[in-house]
């Protein structure tokens, strides 16, 4: 075979190696292919000596082409791997957001969040710091990342430790920092870690808003009940003496219900219609609200 044909076959071999072995191995392979091309096919054969300048140019062009093709193949392979990782992390973020909406509101949201994140993203350790309540939640190996997490929160800056492969992200609601999140044993991209921190901040704020709503509703119902009781007491003190005052004058013409009421002992309970106290109760609640 002539030199161009062999050079093309060696180039195909270098490209295949770059697709599966990476740029460094493909570079070594291209150099080895150029040496073999010179030794076995370029005159004088079985010698590394090159007598003709055109063969030197051919060897240089072969090596340059091999390196360029190897680099392009490596970058294409790297982009494909990154695209797969981004798609996987996007699916995990979606799964995390979906399961956050299904949280049991009777439990601590911080504990549920760290367990959920570790389970979905398969992390070694997850720690969550809630600066509003001052609580720290953690799950995993517990390698002592709490101190670094607080430092990142104080600096109000996201950081990545390549030695432990740990992200330290600040939880923010708008521009206001409200805690921190550490993710250990991961190589996820910065946008994914930031999005995960934003999900945690939103979940914590959502849980607090539900708690405030529950307390407000409980206080409103308690106030309505108190107003209803007060109006009932007023009805008892007003209606019962009137019945006693008109007892003598209305003996012959009073209805059976009133007659039964008058015949009861003085300390007996006088029944009343609950519908009669609705308007006074609402007026009393409106007075307290004003």
Place of tokens 């093709």: 69
Residue 131 clears pLDDT 70, i.e. is over it: yes
Residue 278 clears pLDDT 50, i.e. is over it: no
Residue 97 clears pLDDT 90, i.e. is over it: yes
pLDDT 10s digits, 189-199: 889 999 999 99
pLDDT 10s digits, 32-67: 888 888 888 887 777 777 777 888 888 888 888 888
Residue 285 clears pLDDT 50, i.e. is over it: no
Q: Give mean pLDDT, residues 143-153.
A: 77
The rounded percent of the chain whose pLDDT value lies above 90 is 20
CA distances from 223 to 153, 213, 274, 288 (A): 41, 15, 17, 9
Q: How far apart are CA 47 and CA 54, in angstroms?
A: 17
CA distances from 219 to 155, 223, 288 (A): 39, 6, 12
Q: Give mean pLDDT, residues 114-125.
A: 92
Q: State pTM to two decimals.
A: 0.60
Q: Give mean pLDDT, residues 267-281.
A: 48
């Amino acid at each position: 075979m002539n030199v161009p044909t062999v050079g093309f076959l060696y180039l195909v071999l270098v490209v295949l190696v770059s697709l599966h072995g990476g740029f460094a191995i493909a570079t070594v392979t291209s150099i080895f292919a150029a040496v073999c091309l010179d030794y076995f096919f370029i005159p004088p054969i079985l010698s590394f000596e090159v007598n003709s300048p055109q063969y030197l140019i051919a060897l240089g062009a072969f090596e340059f082409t091999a390196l360029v093709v190897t680099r392009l193949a490596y970058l294409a392979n790297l982009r494909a791997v990154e695209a797969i990782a981004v798609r996987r992390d996007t699916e995990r973020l979606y799964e995390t957001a979906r399961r956050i909406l299904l949280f049991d509101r009777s439990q601590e949201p911080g504990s549920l969040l760290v367990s959920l994140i570790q389970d979905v993203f398969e992390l070694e350790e997850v720690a969550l710091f809630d600066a509003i309540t001052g609580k720290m939640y953690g799950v995993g190996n517990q390698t002592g990342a709490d101190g670094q997490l607080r430092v990142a929160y104080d600096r109000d800056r996201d950081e990545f430790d390549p030695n432990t492969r740990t992200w330290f992200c600040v939880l923010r609601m708008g521009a206001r920092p409200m805690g921190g999140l550490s993710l250990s044993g991961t190589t996820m991209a910065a946008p994914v870690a930031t999005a995960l921190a934003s999900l945690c901040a939103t979940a914590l704020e959502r849980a607090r808003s539900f708690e405030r709503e529950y307390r407000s509703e409980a206080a409103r119902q308690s106030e309505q009940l108190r107003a209803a009781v007060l109006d009932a007491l007023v009805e008892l003190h007003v209606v019962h003496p009137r019945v006693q005052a008109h007892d003598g004058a209305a003996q012959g013409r009073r209805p059976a219900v009133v007659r039964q009421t008058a015949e009861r002992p003085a300390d007996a309970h006088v029944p009343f219609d609950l519908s009669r106290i609705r308007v006074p109760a609402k007026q009393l609640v409106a007075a307290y609200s004003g």
